[in-house]
Amino acid sequence: MPAAGILAIVGVPFLDYPRPHAFAHRGGAAHAPENSWTAFEHAVKLGYAYLETDARATSDGMLMAFHDRTLDRMTDAAGPINAKPYREVRALRVAGSEPIPRIEDLLGAWPDVRFNIDLKDEPGIGLLAGVLRRTGAWDRVCVTSFSGGRLRTARGLLDRQVCMATSPATIAAVRCTIRATSKGQQTRLLARRLHRLGVRCAQVPVKVATGPFIRRAHALGLDVHVWTVNDRSEMARLLDLGVDGIMTDDIETLRDVLIERGQWHPRDDSDAPRQANAP
């Protein structure tokens, strides 16, 4: 169910798709090389309306869908990706076969798909602002980061408010309000602050997504998205707890679980089965 708390989420296009939201983590890394065109295309064909990816800058200011700071793990090159110009990065291949996509190209490829974008470095912040200006994709992105500083900088550089996820400090604050004695007052103050900053969802690891945390986040008007969940039974358990979204590498299993529960909401123009076809 949608989060409905002291300050209910109103007018947030990124979150307006029926819940629970299914996120293809790095495009669905269990089925194709992570953050590759093949992974994203497979997720879109399955019916995923939400794709999760990472953003890193090249040395000459191109924003790429790439997770690691260095190229070593995923390509046959070495060293930081931000030390190489785009002309070199575009020639590299993930897992030996897949080019590294530009964020701008991904946003343009599927104009109805929503992208959860994890800002991985400082140079990427201003670049993302430019990408959103050129593509007009403001309503189709949620900006997240493990760095509260990067999120603050993004808020200052973006021309208009976009959906944003909580910082680690805010996650800690939400957890503290669970144990607070003056819950009502603290909840109201925190809810107003989050609403003012455009923070609309708490994206947390499985260990944080307890029943009390989910209830408190909902009371604050936040959706709860959990990462990275690849086990079928864990998916079902979290959905039973009332999470609003799940991020997974195993996008086929998550789709199957949601179909079985009557909670799968594929994109309208996908090849995915509708609820009527569920077993």
Would you call 31 helix, strand, or coil by DSSP?
coil
Give me the catalytic one of 21, 31, 67, 218. 67
Q: What does the alpha-carbon distance between residue 52 and residue 238 come to, in Å, rounded to a whole number? A: 19
Bridge partners, residue 119, by sequence:
55
Is the CB of residue 125 less than 8 Å from the CB of residue 157?
Answer: yes
Q: What does the alpha-carbon distance between residue 3 and residue 214 come to, in Å, rounded to a whole number? A: 9
User: Is-catalytic flag, 67?
Assistant: yes
In angstroms, the Cα distances linking 220 to 4, 7, 194, 211, 242 are 8, 7, 8, 14, 15
Tokens linked to 165: 């996820």
State residue 247 phi and psi, 5-degree precision. Answer: -100, 130
User: Is-catalytic flag, 265?
Assistant: no
Q: What does the alpha-carbon distance between residue 199 and residue 217 come to, in Å, rounded to a whole number? A: 11
Give me the catalytic one of 21, 25, 42, 195. 25
Query: Secondary structure of the chain: what % helix, strand, coil (to 5)?
Result: 40, 20, 40
Q: Which residues are catalytic?
A: 25, 67
